[in-house]
Amino acid sequence: MKRIDKLYIDGCWEDWTGDMIEVHEAATGQVLAAIPAGSREAMEHAIASADKAFAQWSQSSLDQRLDVLRQLLEQLEARGDEIAEAICREVGMPLKLARQIQAGLPAVITKSYLKMLPDFPFTETVGNSEIQYAPVGVVGCVTPWNYPLHQVILKVVPALAAGCTVVLKPSEVAPLSAFLLAEMFAATDLPAGVFNVVSGYGHEVGDVLIHHPKVKMVSFTGSTRTGQTIAHAAADDFKRIALEMGGKSASVVLPDADLKAAVKGTVNNCLLNSGQTCTALTRLLVPADKHDEACELAREAVAKMTPGNPLDENTRLGPLASAVQRERVLDYIRLGIEEGATLVCGGTEAPEGCEEGFFVRATVFADVDPQSRIAQEEIFGPVLCIIPYESEEQAIEIANGTLYGLSGAVWSGDQERAKSVAGRLRTGQVFVNGGAFNPLAPFGGFGHSGIGREFGKWGLEEFLEVRALQL
């Protein structure tokens, strides 16, 4: 077991002698590590350090910030295997995918900002005014366990590039990569206090972070319920917020689409990271006369997703990240059966040979009522709902018929028709005929899926205030 008994505050590793939080390995349930259950005092110290460092860092040159980000990129690339294994163990994503996604995406994002920043107009002229973009101040980052380093980098890199200082509270479920990131920053020329990490529980350290008057912005990724708490706290102090929350994304298959490709693409997306992805395409909308065929294609696609230990290179489907999450998903599978949906495959028993750890069978429901709870609520596990529709208008109505609006997909033999339907979906991004994810495009949601955007220039602008000099 790895024991981390330090917090990273003001450029130093400070000894922690208080309570610890156990981190469990997803595939076995065994204790993998222990981290500090940080205190309110520790969080206040970190915020004070970030506030003090802001005066210097906010006035740093763009070249200085770029140098630090280049040094970070070198660290991310050099320690990629270490990052991938740590996240594979604590989250459960198969190692092969963890190398590409959990360790690969943070490097891709950092590269994208290194390429974009030299051309970003931090000042511009409008009439007789000079428009300046100024850093917002101390930023509190609260991040989830499903893509633990990716979600941190999405916040920290643009925040630092903007000239902000950061206090990070990582998820206690999957915190190891946050401590690795602190080690990486410690090896760069980043001034003390600009980046700080305090682990712990939300009701303790998180509560201080979101309410503290010296924190000028909170950037959060996680559940809608926690996002509501943060929004209320921010309102009391007029803090800036960026919230990326839940999803119940629809994959709309139009009658002229390649059904086999659409179902395969939807299943692969739905089961990525064992369904622990906020953008997962968890509702498959198909023409009623193709419903049964779509169910069989989904069954065939799921059968190829071999469950097993995520450290095994042949594993396609790993476990969930925690016992709590496993029970939540199993409760939804039971609920789907109670609600009358047809169980195509999967169910509540553990996959064969995967009785230890937090495994759940990849599950497909057919004939799902679009108003049922399994079709309306985010399950965050390997569960797909197949919903038949009678007309294009009804498909759009069903797709837009939840509180969420984070992602979606449209499949059609006619690209322009697909784009037309995609343009009517109330969601922050839509994959058209399997289009590739673009890290330069804005990412975020409508409705209960969030406020604000990440990635690219939009992600940078979240951390900037606008000031006009009238000349």
Helix intervals (H) in 79-175? 80-91, 95-100, 104-116, 148-162
287 and 241 in a common domain:
no
Contact 344, 364 (CB under 8 A): yes
Q: What is the pLDDT of residues 407-423, one digit of tens each?
A: 999 999 999 999 999 99
Query: Of 88, 164, 278, 385, which is the active-site residue?
Result: 278
> Which residue range forms the structural domain that includes residue 12?
2-246+448-470
CA distance 64 to 273: 36
Q: Is residue 212 part of a domain?
A: yes
- Farthest-apart Cα atoms in the chain, separation: 72
CA distance 459 to 441: 9
Q: Specify the pLDDT at position 257.
A: 98
Q: Is residue 260 part of a domain?
A: yes
Strand partners, 253: 411
What is the pLDDT averaged over residues 297-326? 95
CA distance 273 to 93: 5
235 and 166 in a common domain:
yes
Contact 142, 211 (CB under 8 A): no
Q: What is the pLDDT of residues 427-455, one digit of tens each?
A: 999 999 999 999 999 999 999 999 999 99
Q: Specify the pLDDT at position 78.
A: 98
- By percentage, how much of the chain surpasses pLDDT 90? 99
Report the run of H or E that residue 416 belongs to, with start and end: helix 415-422
Q: Is residue 452 part of a domain?
A: yes
456 and 428 in a common domain:
no
275 and 213 in a common domain:
no
Q: What is the pLDDT of residues 74-130, one digit of tens each?
A: 999 999 999 999 999 999 999 999 999 999 999 999 999 999 999 999 999 999 999
Active site residue 278: yes
Active site residue 244: yes
Nearest to 213 by CA among 242, 196, 241, 238: 238
Contact 66, 120 (CB under 8 A): no
Q: Is residue 390 part of a domain?
A: yes
The two structure tokens encoding residue 359: 């495994």
298 and 218 in a common domain:
no
CA distance 24 to 14: 24
454 and 416 in a common domain:
no
CATH code assigned at 175:
3.40.605.10
Q: Specify the pLDDT at position 21.
A: 98
280 and 199 in a common domain:
no
428 and 281 in a common domain:
yes
Q: What is the pLDDT of residues 198-254, one digit of tens each?
A: 999 999 999 999 999 999 999 999 999 999 999 999 999 999 999 999 999 999 999
Q: Specify the pLDDT at position 141.
A: 98
Query: Of 244, 378, 454, 462, which is the active-site residue?
Result: 244
In whole angstroms, what separates CA 21 from the centre of its chain?
22
Q: Is residue 176 part of a domain?
A: yes
Q: Is residue 457 part of a domain?
A: yes
What is the pLDDT averaged over residues 167-179? 98
CA distance 154 to 432: 24
Q: Specify the pLDDT at position 1.
A: 84
Q: Specify the pLDDT at position 15.
A: 97
Q: For the chain, what is the mean pLDDT?
A: 97
Q: Specify the pLDDT at position 329.
A: 98
352 and 341 in a common domain:
yes
Q: Specify the pLDDT at position 469.
A: 98
CA distance 69 to 189: 10
Q: Is residue 216 part of a domain?
A: yes
159 and 16 in a common domain:
yes
Q: Specify the pLDDT at position 306.
A: 87
CATH code assigned at 383:
3.40.309.10
The tally of domains found in the chain comes to: 2
253 and 240 in a common domain:
no
Exposure on the CB side of residue 218, measured as CA atoms within 13 A: 31
327 and 225 in a common domain:
no
Q: Specify the pLDDT at position 259.
A: 98
pLDDT at 404 over 90: yes
DSSP at 288 = G
Q: Specify the pLDDT at position 229.
A: 95
* Cβ-based neighbour number of residue 275 at 10 Å: 25
Q: Is residue 443 part of a domain?
A: no
Q: Specify the pLDDT at position 22.
A: 98
CA distance 255 to 296: 17
Whose tokens are 């101040």? That residue is: 137
